[in-house]
Chains A and B, each alone.
Chain A
Amino acid sequence: MKSKIIITAACVILASASFAELSGEDIIRKVDENLTFDSARFEAKMIIYVGDQVREKRMEMYAEGSEKSFAEFTYPARDSGVKYLKLGDQMWMYLPSVEKVIKIAGHMLRQSMMGSDYSYEDALESGELLEKYKVTLAGKEKIGNKEAYVLELTARVKDVTYYKRKLWVDIDTFIPLKEELYAKSGKLLKVSETEKIGKFGGRSYPTKSVLRNLLRKDSRTEFIVTKAEFDADIPAEIFTERNLSR
């Protein structure tokens, strides 16, 4: 009996010690490490729910780190051939109907991307949270049956889309399970939830997430990764304007 008490006490001490060792910033760094990669190729689909209407859009995506990405929509026919290129914090779009590359700049980035709950700004966001936000570890909570760190992020710079963010990070995989995005007024704008996490070799990666734009009535967008290949060999010319208009 005595030995059980000692073991339990030791576990509690160890667990709290490991919890104490990780600061909010450490956890964000681990999230970044998990979600960023040298290169990756994805096949994905967005399922957009608007009331009782459902629209599916499929795409092929390529990414190099968090700075370069390229996406081409392949389904449905009305959106087929629409392409996006992101380089750093700039973005371009190719519309096959007008055969023209368009730079998406300024507050145009706030607009909905392909009719989804995601905005262009959401798509542009890269792993710079620590540069833009002050992070506080608020504790631990259960999300479903998973234990999660709760982090509160407050903007340190003016030029951010969301002034405050609240993040629930899985303590095992360091994948964000849920995120709430707030305006400066404190109004909750969007909620994102990770519903599935896939294993790709030794890497855990979210394969199904749901985003709700609360400024829209009865709307949500599921983002589902149907195929993922990490550390893929991607030709440099993928991330060029030339590739947009081809």
Chain B
Amino acid sequence: MKSRFILSALLIFAALNTRASAELDFGGYYKNELVGLSNRKGNGILADVNKLRLRIDYKLADNAGIHLEPEYVSLIKSEEFAILDSPDIDRVVFDRAYLGMSLPFADVTAGRQRIAWGMAYLWNPTDAFNPFTLDFAVAEEERRGVDGVRVEVPLGPLSGLDIVALTSGDLTKTRKGIRTKTNIGMYDVSASYVASGEEGSQIGFDTSGELFGLGVKAEAAFAFPGDSDDYTRYVLGWNYTFDNGIGVDMEYYYNGQDKVLQDYMYFGLHRLPDELTVLRLSVLSNMDDSSFIVYPSYSRNIHENVDLSLESLLVGGDSGTEFNPSADEDPTGFAGASMVFIKLKFSF
């Protein structure tokens, strides 16, 4: 309620500030996803997801503006199920709605926004605000926004401070963080601290650079929950592109928060057979229970602003494992279902 009030106040303030330099910029995309899946009960289901996402920038002055990203999603399906990580299947949300202001010493962003901390590719343990969710591959291109105030203070071309406070809930309990970033030699390095009220705190470090021709990334977060044992999460990753154009990405993720399922591996291959086509193969594996997800995809830019992709999500491993749960763990039979997607995206 409080966050809605803050957001509304910001938008009203911004709307009232109708300066002569006001200027509207408009873009976005429409995407249609035809999804076919077979659940563990053997039922074949078809669904069609329509997504319209607008990006609207309203310039209030040379140094201030409003950014809105309303999104409409509808789902036409052959059977009731929750595929989009949301009970709503005919919804409009304002996933981004913020006021941005550039001051001489800082950039201030207030409202619903994406706060992307961490330099690793897939998992970002230092990202306490928009953490990894598996639906990145299934339905979402963007990570969900969070309501907060962010102040970014530049301290040089590649250095700066990033200060964030979420505005949802009681301010004394809500999540707050500070991150400092710089560049040393061929490496970007950063350190962060996040305080989450009664949920404790977290210290994080991350880096990205080059080692013996490999692109390397490392990220670690040390959590101090207060009401339970301290734990560590970290990611080690590298990438390489061969002379024939095949790119390889690998990431190892250690999740000390879970006592049993702690070790994960991501392996990705990609190749551009020509300038308009991308072939990808991604494998995400839980190394402790040997369950895995294989995600092959083919995408082609078939027209200036139109992309067509064929993708598949295949789940493997013994029944009762993380990515392939048993009937007791998931009576719906949808978790662990293999899926096929045909996606058509038009950008404007």
Binding site for B on A (CB under 8 A): 48, 50-51, 53, 55-56, 76-78, 80, 87, 90, 97-100, 103-112, 115-117, 183, 215-217, 219, 236-237, 239-242, 246
Contacts and interface: CB of A to CB of B under 8 A. Distances in A.
Contacts of A116: 275
Contact of B188 (A50, A103, A112, A239): A103
Contacts of A48: 275
A227 B317 CA distance: 57
Interface string B193-211: 0000000000000001111
B245 A215 contact: yes
Given A53-B276, A240-B157, A76 B107 contact: no
Contacts of A55: 275-276, 301, 304
Contacts of B241: 106-111
A98 B29 CA distance: 14
Given A106-B213, A111-B241, A76 B304 contact: yes
A183 B102 CA distance: 47
Contacts of B116: 98-100
A48 B213 CA distance: 29
B301 A115 contact: yes
20 contacts: A51-B274, A56-B304, A76-B347, A77-B305, A78-B345, A80-B27, A97-B141, A97-B142, A98-B141, A103-B119, A103-B209, A104-B215, A105-B210, A106-B215, A108-B239, A111-B247, A111-B272, A115-B276, A183-B243, A246-B102
B160 interface: yes
Secondary structure call for the B interface: strand
Main secondary structure of the interface of A (DSSP, over half): mixed
Nearest to B106: A242
Contacts of A106: 210-211, 213-216, 238-241
B180 interface: no
B152 interface: yes
The 5 A-B residue pairs whose C-beta atoms are closest, nearest first, are A106-B215, A78-B347, A115-B275, A105-B215, A105-B210
A145 to B, nearest CB: 32
Interface of B: 27, 29, 102, 107, 114, 116, 119, 141-143, 152, 154, 156-158, 160, 181, 183, 186, 188, 208-211, 213-216, 238-245, 247, 272, 274-276, 301, 304-305, 307, 345, 347-348
Contacts of A97: 141-142
A50 B300 CA distance: 12
A99 B275 contact: no
Contact of A240 (B154, B213, B239, B275): B154
Contacts of B154: 237, 240, 242
Given A103-B208, A242-B107, 7 more contacts: A76-B305, A105-B215, A105-B216, A106-B238, A111-B241, A112-B275, A240-B157
Nearest to B215: A106
